[in-house]
Amino acid sequence: MNYNRSCGFCLNEKCDDEHRGVFLLNHGAEYWCNSCRVMGRVIKERGSFKGEGKFREVRIEFDYDSQVNKFRQVAIVLADDTAEGKSFLFRSPLIRTDKRALKVAEGMLANLRRRPGIQQGDIPTQDEMILCWDASKEDIQRTLRSIESYWCEEDQP
């Protein structure tokens, strides 16, 4: 299952919880502050990529500042073995430190290289590969080939 993680921010200047992030899981597009009951802003985790070939880079925008509505920092992890390839950009209001951002970027790069069939807008997870039995026969076969190529690659010396 793909989880939609996001953060809700109160924008009311008179509220004690102004600009304090609240974790939201599978939440809609609206956020109402629990303290002052004023509608705030929802910032979702999202990912996108560009380029062709294998993934060679993951960039994570993190340390979201709700006062200016932008991310303040970027963490970048590059693969050693690829000069050209795809670049994945991940924006997360939930990551606050550079240490955590680099750990997440390293894990994402490993998973993106392991699972090349990711679709635009998907966020790679570390512990699952979803196989939908309701999909077309061709999609199921493509996913199974991807899993097979990964597991057979692991067995090679």
Is residue 151 very low, low, confident or very high in pLDDT (cuts 50, 70, 90)?
low
Rounded mean pLDDT, 78-84: 79
153 against 82, higher pLDDT:
82
Give the pLDDT score at 116: 62
- Overall average pLDDT of the 110-122 stretch: 75
Judge whether residue 128 has pLDDT over 70.
no
Percentage, residues of the chain above pLDDT 70: 86
pTM: 0.74
Contacts of 40 (CB under 8 A, 6+ apart): 8, 9, 10, 11, 12, 31, 32, 33
Where exactly are the structural domains of the chain? 5-44, 46-126, 130-157
Residues 6+ apart with CB under 8 A from 87: 49, 50, 51, 55, 56, 57, 58, 59
Mean pLDDT, residues 66-83: 89
